[in-house]
Structure 1
Amino acid sequence: MFKFIDVRYKGVLDLPTLYIEKEKITTLVGASGSGKTTILKMLNKMISPTQGRILFNGVDLKEINSVAHRRRVTMLSQSPAMFEGSIRDNLIAGLRFQQREIPSDEVLYQVLEQVKLKKSLESSANTLSGGEKQRLALGRVLILNPDVYLLDEPSSALDDETEEIIIHMVTEHVRRENKTLVMVTHSKAIAEKYSDTIIEISEGRCSSRRCNNERNH
């Protein structure tokens, strides 16, 4: 699905080749500052390589409209933005931006249940804790239903038990809907348990690539 060809980004990344498969769960692991988030941003066209090419389904990203691309390839940052207003306002913010139909409250509550957020749609988003805001932002991404999910530390603000629940939910959703997931995580245990492929990034380079072929799907 994504193919990196002689990609460099300033002094941060040096990736002669890297391939991310369609309809698989790929996890990027490595030390802070190794370049994992930079890779996600390039996949989302937030930034472009200073050298080399990135292909998406065989087409150079430079040739693809950025807005159209982000509708298919949606990124959730580690510290996602919260908008003024209610939980409902935040859930549907992406849909409004894309001028798409707004679902019923019943559907919105189903999304809140998915991310284990037991709150009223009318509640103010500003009253939520850090972990609750992270789950709300994840719900906002899920409701957009893109082809590719790019998640940067999606459970960093969660306790271990909630992290397990949320990551399990996301990965099951991705597999059930035949989507693609590229995730950055600090947890090697999570990476081992849920990934099809683990890519280790060290000082801007792909130090190893390992497929977890024994995992039952």
Structure 2
Amino acid sequence: MFHLKEVKYKDILNIENLIIPEYKVTCIVGESGSGKTTLLKLLNKIISYDSGEIYYKNKPLSQIDSIAHRRNVVMLPQSPAIFNGSIKDNLLIGLKFAEKPIVSDNKLTEILEFINLNKKLNENAQKLSGGEKQRLALGRILLLNPEVFLLDEPSSALDDETEEIIIKKLVEYTKSNNKTLIMVTHSKKVAKDFGDNIIEVKKGKIIN
């Protein structure tokens, strides 16, 4: 799905050759500051590489419209934005930005159940805890139904039990819906238990 060839970005990443397969769960692991988040941002076209080439479905990223790409390849940052308003407002705002049809309250309630967020749609999103906000943002991108999920430490604010539940659900969803999940994780256990493909980044280089 993604193929990186001789990709360099500043003095942060230097990737000679890397293939990230389609319809799989890829976990990106490594020390803090090794370049993991930068790699996700390159795949999402938030930043542009200095040299080399990244291919998405055999087409150079440089030839793909950035906005169209980000609708197919959605990134969830480690500290996602939570907007003023209700939980419902926050779930729907992604669809509005992407100019996609608004879904019913029943669908939104299903999403809340999926992400283990036992709250009502009209509750104030700003009053949620850090872990609840992280799950709310995850629900927002699930509604977008992209081809690829790029998740940066999606469970960093969750306790171990909730992390296990959420990641397991995400992996099952990915596989049953022919999606691709690429996830930076601090947890070696998550990578070992759920990753079909594990990429280790060390000082900007891929360690196989």
Equivalences for residues 11-160 of structure 1 within 5 A: 11-160=11-160
Distance of 1:197 and 1:180 partners within structure 2? 11
Distance of 2:26 and 2:101 partners within structure 1? 31
* Cα offsets for 1:94-145 (capped at 9, x unmatched): 1001111111100000000000001110011010000000000000011111
2:184 aligned partner, one-letter code: V
Paired-residue identity, %: 55
2:10 aligned partner, one-letter code: K
Partner secondary structure for residue 191 of structure 2: helix
Partner secondary structure for residue 74 of structure 1: strand
The runs of at least 4 aligned residues of structure 1 exceeding 4 Å deviation read none
> Which residue of the partner structure matches residue 166 of structure 1?
166
Distance of 2:39 and 2:172 partners within structure 1? 24
Distance of 2:99 and 2:75 partners within structure 1? 18
2:19 aligned partner, one-letter code: Y
Aligned length: 208
Distance of 1:32 and 1:130 partners within structure 2? 20
2:33 aligned partner, one-letter code: G
Partner secondary structure for residue 170 of structure 2: helix
Distance of 1:157 and 1:16 partners within structure 2? 33
Which structure 2 segments of 5+ residues have no match? none
- Report the TM-score when normalising by structure 1: 0.95
* Cα displacement (A) at 1:206: 0.4
Distance of 2:65 and 2:186 partners within structure 1? 32
Distance of 1:64 and 1:199 partners within structure 2? 25
Distance of 1:19 and 1:139 partners within structure 2? 28
Partner secondary structure for residue 92 of structure 1: helix
Partner secondary structure for residue 26 of structure 2: strand
Partner secondary structure for residue 207 of structure 2: strand
Distance of 1:106 and 1:195 partners within structure 2? 32
Partner secondary structure for residue 41 of structure 2: helix
* Cα offsets for 1:139-197 (capped at 9, x unmatched): 00111110000000000000000000000010000001010010000000110000111
2:140 aligned partner, one-letter code: R
